[in-house]
Amino acid sequence: MCLGIPGQITEMGVGSAEQALVAVGGASRRVNIALIADEGLSPGDWVLIHVGFALARLDEAEARSTLEMLASMEATYADELDAMARSGTSRPQEG
């Protein structure tokens, strides 16, 4: 159910219109893209692979926005820790 791996399309139409060559790390496999064929895929796009099929295209803009949100949370937290260190206080014990 859950093993979905991000991979990058390196070649379209290998063997048939429904198959693309997808790279995961240094390995490659033919992946059936019929489930997301309407999304105008091209080499360089990232897809989620499960049992030899692409289930979804990875939305790089959404990925970036998730990471930006996490990064800003990290930065705010780091600022708070700095401020506390300078004022000599410490965070209350958690959990």
Partner 1 sequence: MRFVDEYRDQAKATALAARIAELCQPGQHYKLMEVCGGHTHTIYKHGLEHYLPKTIELVHGPGCPVCVIPMGRVDDAISIAQQPGATLTCFGDMLRVPGGKGSFLDAKAAGADVRVVYSPMDALKVAMDEPDRKVVFVAIGFETTAPSTALTLLRARDKHVTNFAVFCNHVTIIPPLKAILDAPDVDIDGFIGPGHVSAIIGCRPYETVARDYGKPLVVSGFEPLDVLQSVYMIMRQLAEGRCEVENQYSRVVPWEANPKAVAAIEATMELRPHFEWRGLGSIPWSALRLKAAFAAFDAEELYEVPGVRVADPRACQCGQVLRGQLKPWECRVFGKACTPEKPIGTCMVSSEGACAAFYNFGRLTRLAIATAGRS
Partner 2 sequence: MTIKQRRARDELAAPEVVTMSHGSGGKATHTLVESVFVEAFSNPVLAPLNDGAVFRVGDRELAFTTDSFVVSPIFFPGGCLGDLAVNGTVNDLAACGAQPLAMSAGFIMEEGFPLAHLRRVVDAMAAAARQAGVAIVTGDTKVVERGKGDGCYVNTSGIGLVDSRATGLSAGSAVAGDRVLVSGPIGDHGTAVLLARGELGITADLTSDTAPLNGLVAVMIDAAGAGVHVLRDATRGGVATVLNEVAAASQVGVVLEEKALPVRSEVAGVCELLGIDPLYVACEGRMVAVVAAECADAVLASMRAHPLGAQSAVIGNIESEPQGLVLENTGFGGSRVVDMLVGDPLPRIC
Residues that bind partner 1 (CB under 8 A): 1-4, 6, 8, 24-25, 32, 34-38, 46, 48, 50-53, 55-56, 58-60, 62-63, 65-67, 70-71, 73-74, 76-78, 91, 94-95
Chosen from partner 2, partner 1, none, partner binding at 23 (C-beta under 5 to 8 Å by type): partner 2
Measure the CA dihedral 36/42/47/49, to 10°: 70
Angle at 10 between CA 7 and CA 13, to 5 degrees: 110
Which of 12, 50, 56, 57 touches partner 2 by CB under 8 A? 50
**16 DSSP 8-state letter:** S
